[in-house]
A and B are shown apart, each in its own frame.
Chain A
């Protein structure tokens, strides 16, 4: 793992300065050091997207990111999406339209959807499919997730 290094970054608006092994997975740092357990581990090899977070607005699988790489960046996890009691339109739509079932892929799926809508505010179904292609869900068959995102666009308008 190498020796400890001081690493600084911002998570959900809060500055963090920690002594960390540079090759520690960002996923483990978020979950174990910062107790942000909303980010989930599904496969540990960048296939399922359950560990999705945003680094400087870019969507990444945090299981594949050594923490040394986030020095000086701004990270958003699922815990940073709702403001107090105000859910993001995507979160609200997932609740109302059946976008979440067991919920384990949901944090990653919500972040992927938000990232997609930032890049493309009114996606068609094909763009949604492509935008979410890195996030796997075993419960929903995706139909209700697509519908939730389309409904979130309407809420945004």
Chain B
């Protein structure tokens, strides 16, 4: 192992068991006497439950049957507003809402049984779109269908309109998107009065489930235990949803007295679980004659589905990112998350930012065109610099060089030469174009979020001198195990292989917060660094370790310390960076501790015969502080860009009466190996003072830029303006015919 593992492409810590098939995911586990569970769901979008009938020639007395009446504690999924029931009791508010749970040892009989439960419902009028929700002709949630509203108000946009050289307006839309982790949601539970509740499952956030189960069973915290099994992808889809399936498995286990496994098949996972919030954004932008932004008024609306889940937080991130990495003295952003009778939308990589950044980066190309400036020149005149303020009046105190990123990205793609060449070649069936998007993504929880979380990481040395890291942050493919080990190994100056990351288990690890919000490397990684430094200081302070030591000195000192004092443990608790202030009321202040900055460039070919758009080349250039592990970091970017290409050109959720009707991988299309262009990833490094070894967050960033870059490139290729994703060939055909 290298002496300094930080910044090196050390192979993934759990790589071997993943390539040999030894890694155990939740569906690979089995317990003695384990039975299976399924969910019976609402057939309609909204209505009053009249009756539940158990029909057919089935041995119903062999089944464990759970309804809302069987819930020992509170019938709600504890999250933000606690409005979502575990099992609908009187009302259903979306198609596929859980109503009854069944368990039996035979999976085949269970499927028969599921089909023979008849839920009789008196249907009520339902709301299926953001527009209908805003119209409020039918109120389906609270008094006004609104989960949350924000107002960001900087300067005064109203003073600007009358004197502006040019005002440009536009409307932009994004669709729902399925996370489509390849491992479906699943959980196994053992639950009884004697032992409490233990759940194993595929998840991002063990302590979210822990909190939810405490309320569901009305048990004390020490009687609930949540263990993460190897997790086959999350992307946000396993942030809040696992609290639901874990609770369901636990309710069946509680009533049956047996271990219960609940694993969705793909159709159920797609039709019933959360997706990316659909959005509508309206921009009104005032610019001066010399191309400076004077005022930006932005209305950002997201469709939250039937229950609140995480919509307020998704809305918050989307709102804060809506004005992008530009300086504008007057900005007003009004945003709302509204209710509809579709399954609740939830977390998905980017968390609102891909939606609002799509709108902004499409809109700025339009403003530039109307001003008679190139897309790049207009942005150059407005990029934010150190000392200037964002929409929330956050003064940027780190070095930021958007112009340098833009120059480099355009150079890497031969942008200027290609722009000229594609314009000259614009004849025949295939038209080529090139476009870009410039953007930023805040790392960590928004505003005061990290302060409220008060995350903790522990570190413990063993007598043979190994160091165990104790955190609830999950490895979901993004490399948590490996980068935590690199950070710890670097901070301690000992071999990488001496570091072990404990499996997240709420009975053993402290709450280091959820594995979301691009916070694991930057925020939790910093706590790992602090916690292991505590070990080192303790050993040096005890006189058992000299200042200059080798791995074997360290191991020996651990052994001696433990022999003398019993154990060697430390922990670190989150401390905010200095001078961070956030006003939750006014939505002004330091929204994020740090931002990653990026410029992405797409080259597309548009086939005028088939209306297909194909991405031919993609460059992703970003500044993410110091890169901890180049191969893993590039893997994050490439994977995120591929998901974003899917979001832009392939992935279309087809709705009918509030239900996804293409809930199969056969007709909900994600990119295959044949569809993805070369994704060329570049990093510029600018160490962040408060990240471990200078690192910032990275995970969500790559989801943000591809959609606007691709549609900007398509406009460059065709002269046609498309302002909605997903943009499938049929939509392009309609648009082409309408615009020509």
Known A97-B631, A106-B18, A107-B21; contact A40-B665, beta-carbon cutoff 8 A: no
CB distance B20 to A78 under 8 Å? yes
Stretch of B42-50, B566-574, B666-674 lying at the A interface: B666-674
Known A42-B182, A105-B182; contact A139-B477, beta-carbon cutoff 8 A: yes
What separation, in Å, do the CA atoms of A135 and B675 have in the docked complex?
12
What separation, in Å, do the CA atoms of A99 and B634 have in the docked complex?
11
CB distance B666 to A45 under 8 Å? yes
Q: How far is the CB of A93 from chain B (nearest CB, A)?
A: 9
Central interface residue in A36, A81, A94, by most chain B CB within 10 Å: A94
What separation, in Å, do the CA atoms of A135 and B12 have in the docked complex?
21
Q: How far is the CB of A106 from chain B (nearest CB, A)?
A: 5
CB distance A143 to B670 under 8 Å? no
Mask: chain A, 99-136; 1 = CB below 8 Å from B; 0 = not: 11111111100100000000000000000111011011
- A residues in contact with B265, CB < 8 Å: 41, 44
Q: How far is the CB of A120 from chain B (nearest CB, A)?
A: 15
Known A44-B265, A138-B181, A142-B642; contact A101-B635, beta-carbon cutoff 8 A: yes
A96 at the interface (CB under 8 A from B): yes
- B residues in contact with A39, CB < 8 Å: 21
Stretch of B22-30, B79-87, B412-420, B452-460 lying at the A interface: B22-30
What separation, in Å, do the CA atoms of A129 and B677 have in the docked complex?
11
Central interface residue in A37, A103, A137, by most chain B CB within 10 Å: A103
Taking Cβ atoms with an 8 Å cutoff, the residues of B that contact A are 9, 11-12, 14-25, 27-28, 108, 179-184, 230-235, 265-266, 476-479, 631-632, 634-635, 638-643, 664-666, 670-674, 676, 678-679
Which of A91, A132, A136, A141 is within 8 Å of B638, CB to CB?
A141
Q: How far is the CB of B437 from chain A (nearest CB, A)?
A: 17
A140 at the interface (CB under 8 A from B): yes
CB distance B670 to A138 under 8 Å? yes
Known A50-B182, A78-B20; contact A102-B640, beta-carbon cutoff 8 A: no
Interface of chain B: mostly helix, strand, loop or mixed: loop
- Closest chain B residue, CB of each to CB of A96: B11
CB-defined A-B contacts under 8 Å, sample of 25: A37-B21, A37-B24, A40-B25, A40-B232, A45-B665, A45-B666, A47-B665, A48-B665, A94-B15, A100-B19, A101-B635, A102-B181, A102-B234, A103-B477, A107-B21, A128-B673, A129-B673, A129-B674, A132-B673, A138-B181, A138-B643, A141-B635, A141-B671, A143-B676, A143-B678
Which 5 pairs across A and B sit closest by C-beta, in order of nearness? A38-B21, A102-B477, A104-B232, A103-B18, A141-B642
CB distance B266 to A43 under 8 Å? yes
A82 at the interface (CB under 8 A from B): yes
Known A48-B665, A104-B232, A136-B665; contact A81-B108, beta-carbon cutoff 8 A: no
Which of A50, A98, A138 is within 8 Å of B634, CB to CB?
A98
Known A136-B672, A140-B638; contact A42-B266, beta-carbon cutoff 8 A: yes
CB distance A95 to B266 under 8 Å? no
Which of B27, B476, B670, B673 is within 8 Å of A102, CB to CB?
B476
- B residues in contact with A145, CB < 8 Å: 673
- Closest chain A residue, CB of each to CB of B618: A141
- Closest chain B residue, CB of each to CB of A42: B182
What separation, in Å, do the CA atoms of A36 and B20 have in the docked complex?
11
A77 at the interface (CB under 8 A from B): yes
CB distance A87 to B19 under 8 Å? yes
A79 at the interface (CB under 8 A from B): yes
What separation, in Å, do the CA atoms of A26 and B639 have in the docked complex?
31
- B residues in contact with A140, CB < 8 Å: 635, 638-639, 642
What separation, in Å, do the CA atoms of A78 and B678 have in the docked complex?
28
Q: How far is the CB of B563 from chain A (nearest CB, A)?
A: 34
CB distance A98 to B21 under 8 Å? no
- Closest chain B residue, CB of each to CB of A28: B107
Known A133-B673, A136-B182; contact A38-B20, beta-carbon cutoff 8 A: yes
Mask: chain A, 136-157; 1 = CB below 8 Å from B; 0 = not: 1111111111100000000000
- B residues in contact with A106, CB < 8 Å: 18-19
- B residues in contact with A31, CB < 8 Å: 27-28
Q: Which residues of A, 10-58, contact B by the 8 Å Cβ criterion?
A: 31, 36-45, 47-48, 50
What separation, in Å, do the CA atoms of A101 and B22 have in the docked complex?
15
What separation, in Å, do the CA atoms of A104 and B229 have in the docked complex?
12
Which of B476, B638, B643 is within 8 Å of A144, CB to CB?
B638
What separation, in Å, do the CA atoms of A138 and B235 have in the docked complex?
9
- A residues in contact with B666, CB < 8 Å: 45, 47
- Closest chain B residue, CB of each to CB of A144: B635
Known A106-B19, A136-B665, A138-B181; contact A100-B232, beta-carbon cutoff 8 A: no
Not counting A95-B19, A103-B17, A135-B673, a sample of 4 additional A-B residue pairs whose C-beta atoms are within 8 angstroms of each other reads A37-B21, A50-B182, A102-B234, A136-B665
CB distance B678 to A79 under 8 Å? no
Known A37-B21, A79-B21; contact A139-B233, beta-carbon cutoff 8 A: yes
Q: How far is the CB of B380 from chain A (nearest CB, A)?
A: 30
Which of B11, B19, B23, B182 is within 8 Å of A48, CB to CB?
B182
